[in-house]
Amino acid sequence: MAERWDAVVLGAGVGGLVAAFDLSRGGARVLVLDAADRPGGTVAGTTVMVGDGRTVAVDVGAESFATRTPVVGDLARELGLTVVDPDLRGAWAYAGAGTDDDPARALPLPRTATLGIPTTPWAPDVRRVLGIAGAVRAWWDLGMARTPVPDSLAAWVTQRLGPTVLERLVAPVAGGIHSADPATLDPRAVAPQLVAAYEKTGSLLRAASTLADAPGRGNTKPGSAVAGIDGGMHRLVEALADTVSSAGGEVRLGVRVDGLERVEDGDGGWRVTGTAGAGTVAAEAPRVVVALPRTPALALLAPLLGPELPEPGEAPGSRGSDTSRGGSDVRLITLVLRAPVLDVAPRGTGVLVAPGADVRAKGLTHASAKWSWLRSQLPDGVHVVRLSYGRAGDPEPTVPPTVEEAVADAARLLGVPLDPSQVLDHLDTHWPDALAPARPADRATADDAAHRLPGLAVVGAWVAGTGLAAVVGQARAAVEGTRAVGR
């Protein structure tokens, strides 16, 4: 016998929980199923020891959200959470192989509009990073004829603004956000608004200015076009899950969903099946939201959409069978350090590392400098830093660094002496296949599913694009759309 619900949501990441929250607010009793032992997906918190017998909750997944749209801030306030700004000192970039020809260097990142692309090369903070020759080359963009947008962000930036902008600004910033070499990032997937602005203005600098001037962007320091939540981003998923439960729904964990089919008899709708330990789960509902990552989502959707319906340019039969990893195998190392030398935040809120630099970490967040809510909970001289390892396209799984390696990388990136004996606690959080950019063909598949399968919506980063702003906005719109379709 299958359980009956008003809606079943597959996956309790942010996408699934936001969908469940909106369905609950509309009066539906919602069942959310997730394979993990906690809700939230890649938004997760845990506690660390900070000395003096105290513990503090920290984020070990997403820790901020982009403020280019108000969607996440609005949602947080709706849930009664307090939105907070990061420290204004901004982030730094680290580049260089550490050789005579290419010495290692750390530079404060200037104001940029998006993905490290400056709005003008002549702002003093930009010129300091680019040098006169790099700034002059970037400035040429304004006089160049419009050129077609290539498939690679690196090629686009080099073509329009020159190699110095790529190496010193775009590689560390875009690499930090997408965990990938800009050569592998398609501008249409990672910066669709920038591409649209470029198509209008014919200049990459002008396009970047348009975005920087957009409402809500402000003329901000890198890393400050984001906001956080007092107490950590994990508070958002906890509040969403609590609200769904108190509205008569249920967030059921430890259930791996493996079947989705139309129910033709009785009330019709959808039947979801899954396994929970040695048992099985079956639930039926007129509405279903698929909020799983790409591979399990496509495994469920492919039989419903039919393999004979390829996307333009896609080989017949390939839909749903492409399970290639587009993401990175991320290891996030959290270090709690007794290090008064970090009180001055020597690298502001953190460091983005350009590919090819002489440290294996691809980025460092000085979390206790970035977030005052965290700083205020730590004993004097104690700091929390997060280092991330693993870039998209790396053929092998990321080998987790030892504590000694992580401390050595932190010392190099922060430009201060640090020793493993200063570590009060450390965490190694593994995020396999994380941060895969959304592909246009995937968006088309999700639209196709929503259009052709009544009562079904597809949400999540593989459709919306990486990041909470993209995922929350798309989930809310998709659920709204499903209601309109009805059964």
Which pair of tokens denotes residue 95?
């580049």
Check if the beta carbon of residue 120 is closer than 8 Å to that of residue 269. no
Q: Would you count residue 174 as binding ligand FAD (CB under 6 A)?
A: no
User: Considering the complex, what minimum distance in angstroms separates the CB of residue 363 from ligand FAD?
Assistant: 10
Residues 208-227 that bind ligand FAD (CB under 6 A): none
Q: Would you count residue 116 as binding ligand FAD (CB under 6 A)?
A: no
What's the burial of 315, exposed, middle or buried (CB within 10 Å: 0-12/13-18/19+)? exposed
Check if the beta carbon of residue 485 is closer than 8 Å to that of residue 455. yes
Give the Cα separation of 78 and 72 in Å (integer). 10
Amino acid at 147: T
Q: Would you count residue 84 as binding ligand FAD (CB under 6 A)?
A: no
Q: Would you count residue 42 as binding ligand FAD (CB under 6 A)?
A: yes
Q: Would you count residue 176 as binding ligand FAD (CB under 6 A)?
A: no
Binding segment for ligand FAD (CB under 6 A), chosen from 125-133, 166-174, 263-271, 292-300, is: 292-300
Among 36, 155, 195, 305, binds ligand FAD (CB under 6 A): 36
Binding segment for ligand FAD (CB under 6 A), chosen from 36-44, 265-273, 282-290, 351-359, is: 36-44
Q: Would you count residue 382 as binding ligand FAD (CB under 6 A)?
A: no
Structure-derived torsion over alpha carbons of residues 466, 467, 468, 472, reported in degrees to the nearest 10: -30
Amino acid at 370: K
Residue spans of beta strands (DSSP E) within 302-416: 328-338, 350-353, 363-366, 382-389
How is 275-308 classified by DSSP, letter by letter? EETTEEEEEEESEEEE-S-HHHHHHHHHHHH-TT
Taking residue 397's Cβ as centre, other Cβ atoms within 10 Å add up to 11
Q: Specify the residue, 175 or 467, whose C-beta has the smaller distance to ligand FAD.
A: 467
Q: Which residues pair with 282 in a beta bridge?
A: 273
Binding segment for ligand FAD (CB under 6 A), chosen from 4-12, 152-160, 168-176, 417-425, is: 4-12
Q: Would you count residue 20 as binding ligand FAD (CB under 6 A)?
A: no
Check if the beta carbon of residue 13 is closer than 8 Å to that of residue 42. yes
Q: Specify the residue, 52 or 74, whose C-beta has the smaller distance to ligand FAD.
A: 74
Residue 266 carries which DSSP code?
Answer: T
Q: Specify the residue, 165 or 289, whose C-beta has the smaller distance to ligand FAD.
A: 289
Among 165, 283, 374, 461, binds ligand FAD (CB under 6 A): 461
Binding segment for ligand FAD (CB under 6 A), chosen from 27-35, 149-157, 243-251, 408-416, is: 27-35
Q: Would you count residue 81 as binding ligand FAD (CB under 6 A)?
A: no
User: Considering the complex, what minimum distance in angstroms separates the CB of residue 115 from ligand FAD?
Assistant: 14
Handedness of CA 186, 191, 192, 197 (dihedral sign): negative
User: Considering the complex, what minimum distance in angstroms separates the CB of residue 288 from ligand FAD?
Assistant: 13
User: Considering the complex, what minimum distance in angstroms separates the CB of residue 330 from ligand FAD?
Assistant: 5
**Site residues, ligand FAD (CB under 6 A):** 10-16, 33-36, 41-43, 61-66, 256-257, 291-293, 296, 330, 332, 431, 434-435, 460-461, 466-468, 471
